[in-house]
Structure 1
Amino acid sequence: MNISNKMIHPEIRTIGKIIRFIIPYFKTSTFKLSRHIIGVLKKKSCKDMCYEQIYIPRKERRVTEDLLRICVYSPFERKKKATGILWIHGGGYGLGVPEQDEAFIRRFVLTYNCVVVSPDYCLSTIAPYPAALEDCYTALMWLKENAALYDICPNQLMVGGDSAGGGLTAALTIYARDKREVAIAFQMPLYPMLDDRMITKSSQNNDAPVWNTKSNENAWKLYLGSLYGTEDISPYAAPARLTDFSNLPPAVTYVGDLEPFYDETVNYMEQLKAAGVSAKYKVFTGCYHAFDIMAGKSTPAKEAVEFLMKNFEYAQNHYFKEQPFIV
């Protein structure tokens, strides 16, 4: 799927050209270098909302650090019955920090009375699957267990994320459904990274800006480690491999039609719908991966944000899931 510049939406075309020139695709070395560069985003203050860095014990010892850093965002004036959101950053599973997604987080906290917990999960350049998933689950359980401390409605815990964070969102909802220790009321897997097999048309020979087939292949190799290329891969690692979509939380997403994840995103949402799960998505013509971040002032980006927040507001008013009682 060769992506010419003419195919790209005119408002995001120039930025796409620049990105494609600077980073044609992500190599293993690029992930490692970018991880250190993006790491400078870690900070200790946030001007328009409360920002805490909390270190919690890791239940599994996949990495050398015993503690997992989570970032907790909340309004300065906290209200009762807030919605609790676990927000998972993107980065191909191999780079990124929670602070890079503060644009997403800020909308939830400042406009919709939310408390957002974002885990600094283990990256694939440090340890492969299941380290990242286990970190996200640890953070989700912390959110459940500390809901009262932050005036969060315990029956309205939600999960969201972009790109690899979207993939982890989908994986986490499946994992939580099966473990039955915590209930998720709603999920927002934005243009998620779901399928290691790269068998869809949009994922093959795709040379779009930001993220393409070469980047995708290298990222999956890092994330899956020795499992890559085998059939012994769980839906917890690659959610597109899921066969039972029942009893998953309602979902919303959006995706560009030029990016590698286009087909797998649409397929996943349609399978949710076929299983009776409320699932809404919007496709943006002429848009590449993470267009909403790379060209935030463009018309497609603004429409994507509006679509997401409109559906989130509906979910906040209608979707609740009682937490299981665990002896």
Structure 2
Amino acid sequence: MQDYDLVVVGSANADLVVGVERRPGAGQTVLGSDLAVHPGGKGANQAVAAARLGARTALLARIGDDAHGRMLLDVQRRAGVDTAGVLVGGAPTGVALIVVDPSGDNSIVVSPGANARLGPGDVRAAGAMLRAARVVSLQLEIPLESVAETVRTAAAVDTRVVLNPSPPAPLPDDVLAACDPLVVNEHEAKALLAGDPASDDDSPEAWAEALLARGPRSVVVTLGAAGALVARADGGAGTVTVPSPAVRAVDTTGAGDAFTGALAWRLGAGDDLETAVRFAVRVGAAAVKRTGAQQSFPTLDELEDR
């Protein structure tokens, strides 16, 4: 019995956001807006994005026993996420420091806090939850050994694995081999391909082909306002570019997580990869039209009204 459409294993942060006229360079100081505090973290973002769309979603994460942690728990529960797997204690809740310019582009620094204490033992203890999922979605804001333990647990029961390697880091072969898909943006693709001639190429098709050669079953390259590119290793015909709806971006924070959460849900619901990506680009486009991360994510009714 698969009790969850999606289990997300990853980070939960408080996002501390300041608007700026321009993002500072090295050694520069700029004045910004009043500080805004929002729920965030790539894992928590993906869980909320999927749950708001109607997915049966659970989150495995670790937060601190503090005000930021209590805020995160409350937001997850109000979105409909099962928080039985959210562990409390070990360190303060993780924090992301975010500056957003008038175009909606952002720069982010993350202090992992409790996220860095989500260990392989926590993953093993949550084995029943992981085995009850159609899809498991991961990122790299938690320890890599915990990501690998999650992948091994999922692979043992043929649960589909969606991985966004952010922040990018070298991945073990068995982790790469389980990814279906590996979801990357331009920066993540080039970081993973460092030393490969494809990293100097400006072609998303070249990045996808080179990444597929590393072992994942499929690759999705997100292209911002241009949509996303889909490539499969199973003999599919080349790559497919899925355009994004044209929208005026207010804040891109969390848009990639909204995309990935939506993608993972639709794969768990039985969509083929291209169909799931076509849905996910609509969700990502809707998310940039409002400020913040989780509070900008659309419900299914809102998406259908757009």
TM-score by length of 1: 0.36
Q: Which protein is richer in strand relative to its size?
A: 2
TM-score by length of 2: 0.38
